[in-house]
A and B are shown apart, each in its own frame.
Chain A
Amino acid sequence: MTKTWRKLSFMLVAALLVGACGTGGEESADGGETDGGGGQETVKAAWIYPSPRNDGGWSTAHDQGRLAVEEKFGDQVETTFIESVSEEPGAATRAIEGLARKGYDIIFTASFGFMDPTLEVAKKYPDIYFEHCSGFKTADNMSNYFGAMEEAKYLSGIAAADATQNGLMGKVVSFPIPEIVRLTNAFLLGAQSVNPDVRMKTLFTNSFFDPPAEKAAAESLIDAGADVLTQDVDSPATGQVAEPAGAKWVGYNSDASEVAPDAWLTAPIWNWAIYYEDRIQAVLDGSWESQSYYGDLSDGIVGLAPFGDSVSQETIDKIKEVEEQIKNDEFDVFDGPIKDQAGEIVVPEGETPTLEELLSMDYFVEGMEGKLPAS
Chain B
Amino acid sequence: MSRASAPIRPRLVKRLVPSRSMRIGVRAGAVVCAFILAAIFLLLTGRSVGTIFGAMWDGSFGSPYGQAQTILAAIPLIFTGLAVAIAFRMRLWNIGAEGQFYLGAFGATAVAYAIPTAPAFILLPLMILGGMVGGGAWAFVPGILRARLGVNEIVPSLLLNYVGILLVDYMVHGPWSDPQSFGFPLGKPFSDSATLPTLGDTAVHAGAIVAILAALAISLVLSRTVWGYRVRVIGENARAANYAGFSIARNVVAIMLLSGALAGVGGMVEVSGVVHKIQANISPGFGYTGIIVATLARFSPLAVVPIALLFGALIVAGNELQTVGLPSDIVLMLQAVILLFALAGELFVQYRVQWRPGSSSSAAPAIPSEPERQAAASASPSIEAG
User: Which residues of A are at the interface with B, using a C-beta cutoff of 8 A?
Assistant: 17, 20-21, 46, 52, 80-91, 93-95, 98-99, 101-102, 112-113, 116, 136, 175-179, 206, 359-362, 374-375
Contacts and interface: CB of A to CB of B under 8 A. Distances in A.
Contact of B170 (A52, A91, A360, A374): A374
A178 B319 CA distance: 31
A90 B72 contact: yes
Contacts of B182: 136, 178, 359-360
A209 to B, nearest CB: 12
Leading 5 A-B pairs by shortest Cβ distance: A178-B183, A374-B173, A84-B328, A359-B182, A86-B284
A49 to B, nearest CB: 9
A136 B184 CA distance: 10
A359 B322 CA distance: 35
Nearest to B322: A82
Contacts of B181: 136
A202 B316 CA distance: 38
Contact of B323 (A21, A98, A175): A98
Given A86-B284, A99-B323, A94 B169 contact: no
Interface stretch (B7-15, B44-52, B110-118, B275-283): B275-283
10 contacts: A46-B323, A82-B323, A86-B284, A87-B281, A91-B284, A116-B186, A177-B183, A178-B183, A178-B184, A374-B169
> B169, B184, B274, B329: which has the most chain A beta carbons within 10 Å?
B184
A81 B323 CA distance: 7
Contacts, number: 80
A83 B327 contact: yes
Nearest to B328: A84
Interface in B60-102: 65, 69, 72-73, 76
Interface string B276-310: 01010111100000000000000000000000000
Given A90-B72, A90-B274, A91-B315, 4 more contacts: A82-B319, A94-B73, A175-B185, A362-B183
Nearest to A356: B182
A136 B179 CA distance: 13
Nearest to B186: A116
B131 interface: no
Given A89-B279, A177-B185, A374-B173, A94 B270 contact: no
A94 B316 contact: yes
A82 B182 CA distance: 28
Interface of B: 59, 65, 69, 72-73, 76, 169-170, 173-174, 180-186, 270, 274-275, 277, 279, 281-284, 315-316, 319-320, 322-323, 327-329
Contact of B274 (A17, A87, A89): A89
A156 B316 CA distance: 41
A131 B277 CA distance: 22
Contact of B281 (A52, A95, A113): A113
Contacts of A89: 274-275, 279, 281-282
> B186, B322, B329: which has the most chain A beta carbons within 10 Å?
B322
Contacts of B183: 177-178, 359-362
A88 B209 CA distance: 22
B151 to A, nearest CB: 28
Contacts of B275: 89-90
Given A113-B281, A177-B183, A374-B173, A80 B72 contact: no
Nearest to B72: A90
A52 B322 CA distance: 12
Contacts of A82: 319, 322-323, 328
Contacts of B279: 89
B318 to A, nearest CB: 9
Contacts of B322: 81-83
A90 B316 CA distance: 11
B319 A95 contact: yes
Contacts of B72: 90, 94
Contact of B319 (A87, A98, A112): A98
> B76, B183, B275: which has the most chain A beta carbons within 10 Å?
B183
Contacts of A177: 183-185
A362 B182 CA distance: 10
Contact of A90 (B169, B186, B270, B323): B270
B184 A112 contact: yes
A197 B329 CA distance: 46
Contacts of A93: 274
A267 to B, nearest CB: 25
A360 B184 CA distance: 9
A359 B284 CA distance: 28
Nearest to B316: A94
B323 A17 contact: no
A374 B65 CA distance: 41
Contacts of B328: 52, 82-84
A177 B182 CA distance: 9
Nearest to A95: B319
Contacts of A206: 169
A82 B319 CA distance: 7
Contacts of A88: 281-284
A84 B319 CA distance: 10
Nearest to B172: A374
A120 to B, nearest CB: 9
A333 to B, nearest CB: 18
A234 B93 CA distance: 35
A69 B329 CA distance: 25
A360 B329 CA distance: 37
A88 B283 CA distance: 6
Contact of B173 (A17, A21, A176): A176
B89 to A, nearest CB: 29
Contacts of A360: 182-183
Contacts of B316: 94
Nearest to A20: B180
Nearest to A135: B184
